[in-house]
A and B are shown apart, each in its own frame.
Chain A
Amino acid sequence: MSDQHNGNGGNGRGNGRGQREEKIAVYVCHCGTNIGGTVDVPAVVAWAASQPGVTVAREYKYMCSDPGQDLIKNDIKELGITRVVVAACSPTMHEPTFRKAAADAGLNPFLLQMANIREHCSWVTEDPVAATQKAKRILGAQIHRLPFNQALNPIDVQVNQDVLVVGGGIAGIEAALKLAEAGKHVYMVERNPSIGGHMAMFDKTFPTLDCAACILTPKMSALGKHPNITLLAYSEVTHVDGYVGNFTVTVKKKARYVNTDLCTGCGACQEACVVRKVKSEFDQGLGYRSAIYIPFPQAVPLRATIDPENCLTLSRGACKKQSCVAACGPKAIDFDQKDEEVELAVGAIVLATGFELFDCREEPTYGYGRLDNVITSLEFERLSNASGPTGGHIVLKNGETPKSVAILHCVGSRSVNHQEYCSRVCCMYSLKFAHLIKEHLPDTEVWELYIDMRTNGKGYEEFYKRLMDEGVNFIRGRAAEVTDFAMSPEEEGKLIVKAEDTLLGVVRRLPVDMVILSAGLSPQHDAKEVSQIFGFGCSANGFFLERHPKLEPVATVTDGVFICGACQFPKDIPDTVAQAGAAAAGVLTLVNNVSVKIEPTISYIDPEKCSGCHVCVGLCPYAAIRVNAETGAAEVVEAACKGCGVCVAACPSGVPQQRGYLDEQIFAEIEGALVV
């Protein structure tokens, strides 16, 4: 192992076999029956043993177990193995495990390769004979590659201890508070004028019926006051540079037109404002706010914001009175304020950007937006909330009390037309609504129309049982339509819900006064763009894609960027809080280290061979290649290179090479993949 990671990588292109004899060990894992059930492992081992350079080939039931790893370690020590290939699962899964085992036995970890014969072979191939042959090809590629592998050393980079949390709902608040309590400085960026997210709009939380505000607002206020937290509300992340431990984040602070250092949050301006009929976003359009407003009394930060679209001064320079200016004691209003950009340096990032409610207009058969008294679940939350627009009175649009209410489950969810997935919280919040209606209006008839009742949480099934005893009517069947077309005298003036009662086997028409649409949870409309800013992607359903669905549910493919809460997938508050804790733990595991090791698979350029055409310079996405002023040759700035290899493929002379992905390594893989 005399090769140094910065040694001459050899720029020869596909010049056949390795120059030196390597002693290769091959291990083929059965993975129980996951591989061994389809692939003829003994046959693969026998074949591998006959391949050039292979000193020993073994099979084992579970290579990732301690005895499996010991096989590798012992062979390295006793047989003088210089290269190792483990044919098992995806390298994403266990490459770190086996590389560590190799390192423990004194072999440079980059001299070990994995052959993915599980995800790419046994799990996807029906015919055992074909699977066995494919396994040989996948393994052959790695056996041929190994003689060209070089010993590499991971690069140490310093880790910035500060953390960015994006999104100030319950997920972000929880993660930020945990990190701040652990002594990290946290920047919290929230798009809206106040933190609180959806939870701040809720009335009660299921199944315990705690008041949402009572359990959330103390956390909001603690966050606002925390010495370790810098809150950037009404701000958005526009750009992220850098890498794990060393991110540079650009944040746009939108103009509030109010000097937040001077504003005391007294609210006199919103009382004085002449534009008073702007639909309140916080109240889901059921209530009104002024053009200058504090979204809700417990807002954090408790500061006014002017909405420039509705403010007469800002939209058309036409406000004669400017009564807000007169009303503001501390003279905080500043119509000349501009958007501001700030740059933050952080070591890790937590995204907790939450969800959007499914747009019920996309299910037109339910009449939302067309029929009065068809409302969404969030609208009902505000309606039943004591701090809401009706002071907690559940009323119809005309102010009367509903005598009957139908709650329609799975609006937008579990639908071939909209969202295929179950949104996980709607059954429970629908039950909560039924309880709240019965509590406020005991004489009101409540109907729940459901496909399946999904109450899979602590105390949830018990809550469902309780509701059955409270006199709520349950109909198993998805509503087909909501109409105001009466077909009998008792349907006159009512909303009629049509549904098949699948337990009775009849189609029913239910005349009711109010229909609540239990809308599913959708990804944020800009989830894709946001995920791209942070360098990862979204799942097919549009939510943020986790690194591994089971073992890395809060990590992303971008090292140092974590996700939690409903931005990953719909989840209730207990699961969200748990995930926020997991994300905070992930961050701490990273930033508590002074330095972190990053992969050394970056490019290098031999100045002797570079002719100085500089094609690579312009192609590098990270401006990591510069021209040496003296020699004219291109050179790689190691700290900036991320190892995409674009320069390697672009150079007309093949001078740049990427460590770990040398041309000769790939060529050898191609050869090996095609030998059998």
Chain B
Amino acid sequence: MSNDAFEPRLIGFLCRWCSYNGADLAGTSRIKYPPNMVPIKTNCSGRIDPTFVLKAFQEGADGVLIAGCHPGDCHYINGNYRTAGRYALLEKLLLQMGLEPGRVRLEWISAAEGDRFAQTVREFTEQIRALGPLRWNDQFADLGGGDDQFDDGGEAPSGDRQLEGAAV
């Protein structure tokens, strides 16, 4: 299918000290970037629970950005290392759930990198546009579990079943 008319819905989890301020700097510098991502602030990227990402997909997001301080720059010493560790596991989990690689992205963006923030959103928007809509809830609806929580013990769909329904 053509994805030209598709406007991805993106959620961006930003740590308060680096990436959120980087996004602010993009603003004060008036750097334009696509409007597809809504930022959500946490104190540290280490606060970003993998279930936040799953929740975003469940609610209809097509892609999720996680952004924190550069390695070594964490305001909380090493919270971003926890983020990096969890992200590696999350990627595998999402793959097993049938998501295409690339729907989640981890970036280190400092408070001084407004241009990098804008560029990341530009790239990520195009990346998800190319992947197409997620339509995850439709797939869950097929299985009769569309509105349930993931941790409610609902039967997880097999990878093959997922891919059939996914817009790939």
Contact = CB atoms under 8 A, between A and B. Distances in A.
B21 to A, nearest CB: 7
A123 B40 contact: no
A211 B35 CA distance: 57
A2 to B, nearest CB: 26
A345 to B, nearest CB: 20
B24 A90 contact: yes
Contact of B151 (A13, A90, A130, A601): A13
Interface string A117-143: 011110111110011011001100100
Given A125-B35, A661-B47, A671-B59, A120 B82 contact: no
A138 B38 contact: yes
Interface string A321-343: 00000000000000000000000
A305 interface: no
B47 A648 contact: yes
Interface in B36-56: 38-44, 46-52, 55-56
Determine the interface band of chain A, counting residues with CB < 8 A from chain B: 35 or more
A674 B59 contact: yes
Interface string A85-98: 00000111000000
A532 interface: yes
Nearest to B72: A532
A275 B90 CA distance: 62
A134 to B, nearest CB: 4
Interface stretch (A173-181, A357-365, A535-543, A632-640): A535-543
A124 B40 contact: no
A396 B61 CA distance: 70
A398 B56 CA distance: 74
B58 to A, nearest CB: 9
Given A124-B30, A537-B18, A646-B46, A141 B24 contact: no
A354 interface: no
Contact of B79 (A14, A644, A658, A661): A644
A92 B20 CA distance: 10
B147 to A, nearest CB: 10
Contacts of B20: 92
Contacts of A537: 18, 69, 73, 110-112
A666 B42 contact: yes
Interface string B78-117: 1100100010000000000000000000000011110000
Given A124-B26, A621-B78, A673 B38 contact: yes
Contacts of A650: 82
Interface string A441-463: 00000000000000000000000
B47 A119 contact: no
A646 B28 contact: no
A119 B112 contact: no
A649 B50 CA distance: 8
A667 interface: yes
A195 interface: no
Contacts of A557: 17, 21, 75, 111
Interface string A520-539: 00000000000010011111
B6 interface: no
A532 B20 CA distance: 18
A123 B28 contact: yes
Interface in A655-676: 658, 661, 663, 666-667, 669-671, 673-674
B77 A673 contact: no
Given A127-B35, A646-B76, A670 B40 contact: yes
B54 to A, nearest CB: 10
B3 interface: no
Contacts of A644: 43-44, 46-47, 75-76, 79
Given A134-B38, A670-B11, A649 B24 contact: no
A601 B47 CA distance: 12
Contacts of A666: 40, 42, 49, 52
A648 B20 CA distance: 20
A674 B111 contact: no
Given A537-B69, A670-B11, A649 B149 contact: no
Contacts of B86: 649
A650 B69 CA distance: 19
A243 B82 CA distance: 22
Contacts of B46: 644-646, 649
Interface string B54-74: 011001110000000100110
Nearest to B15: A644
Contacts of B82: 619, 646, 649-650
A549 B28 CA distance: 10
B32 interface: yes
Which of A90, A539, A644, A674 has the most chain B CB within a 10 Å cutoff?
A: A644
A300 interface: no
Given A14-B149, A667-B52, A670-B11, A137 B38 contact: yes
B118 interface: yes
Contacts of A137: 38
A638 B30 CA distance: 40
A198 interface: no
Which of A535, A671, A674 has the most chain B CB within a 10 Å cutoff?
A: A674
B2 to A, nearest CB: 20
A270 interface: no
B129 interface: no
A352 interface: no
A123 B47 contact: no
B113 A648 contact: no
B113 A540 contact: yes
A609 to B, nearest CB: 15
17 contacts: A118-B27, A120-B23, A120-B39, A125-B33, A133-B35, A141-B40, A537-B111, A545-B112, A644-B47, A644-B75, A646-B47, A646-B79, A648-B47, A661-B42, A666-B52, A670-B52, A670-B55
Given A124-B32, A134-B35, A667-B55, 10 more contacts: A14-B51, A123-B30, A124-B33, A124-B35, A537-B18, A537-B73, A539-B112, A644-B43, A646-B82, A648-B49
- Top 10 A-B pairs, shortest CB-CB distance: A119-B27, A645-B47, A644-B76, A646-B46, A644-B44, A621-B77, A673-B38, A123-B27, A649-B49, A130-B35
Interface of B: 9, 11, 17-18, 20-21, 23-24, 26-28, 30-33, 35, 38-44, 46-52, 55-56, 59-61, 69, 72-73, 75-79, 82, 86, 110-113, 118, 149, 151
